[in-house]
């Protein structure tokens, strides 16, 4: 039986490549892994979190229609050590949580922040112990 073996990356198309990369790099702390232009002309930037193998591909395709993200369509989830500390970090960038923090019945606490283009970012603080 043929099957996929691992998730490599998730792609998000954006209107403003540099603004979006700056958010993922400076606000979320992701590392830029590579940047190049595809054969069809898309500008691509790959980023990843320090403890993850999977990458995020940010894509700008000149000449395409404007990206309009529908509410609650998709999100990326990242683990953080402390939502309180992350809220302070966001404030330094002029940002705040768009929802939460909320503690789930299973223990973790989560909150959301909006990335450029309207993509949601979920931040999860695991329950202690």
The string of pLDDT tens digits covering residues 22-74 is 999 999 999 999 999 999 999 999 999 999 999 999 999 988 888 888 888 88
Instruction: Tell me the residue range of the domain where 45 lies.
Output: 7-62
| Residues counted in the chain | 129
8 Å CB contact between 74 and 120: yes
Same domain assignment for residues 33 and 77: no
- The pTM of the full predicted model, rounded to 2 decimals, is 0.89
Neighbours of 20 (CB within 10 A): 23
8 Å CB contact between 101 and 124: no
Q: Is the pLDDT of residue 1 over 80?
A: no
Distance CA 34, CA 89 (A): 26
Residue 14 CB burial class (10 angstroms; 0-12, 13-18, ≥19)? buried
Same domain assignment for residues 58 and 75: no
Q: Does 1 map to a domain?
A: no
């Amino acid at each position: 039986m043929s099957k996929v073996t691992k998730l490599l990356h998730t792609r998000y198309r954006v209107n403003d490549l540099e603004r979006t990369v700056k958010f993922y790099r400076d606000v979320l702390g992701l590392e830029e892994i590579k940047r190049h232009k595809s054969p069809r002309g898309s500008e691509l930037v790959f980023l990843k979190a320090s403890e993850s193998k999977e990458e995020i591909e940010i894509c700008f395709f000149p000449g395409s229609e404007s990206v309009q993200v529908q509410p609650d369509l998709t999100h990326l989830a990242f683990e953080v050590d402390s939502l309180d500390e992350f809220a302070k970090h966001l404030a330094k960038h002029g940002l705040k949580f768009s929802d939460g923090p909320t503690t789930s019945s299973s223990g973790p606490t989560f909150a959301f922040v909006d990335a450029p283009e309207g993509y949601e970012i979920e931040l999860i603080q695991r329950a202690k112990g």
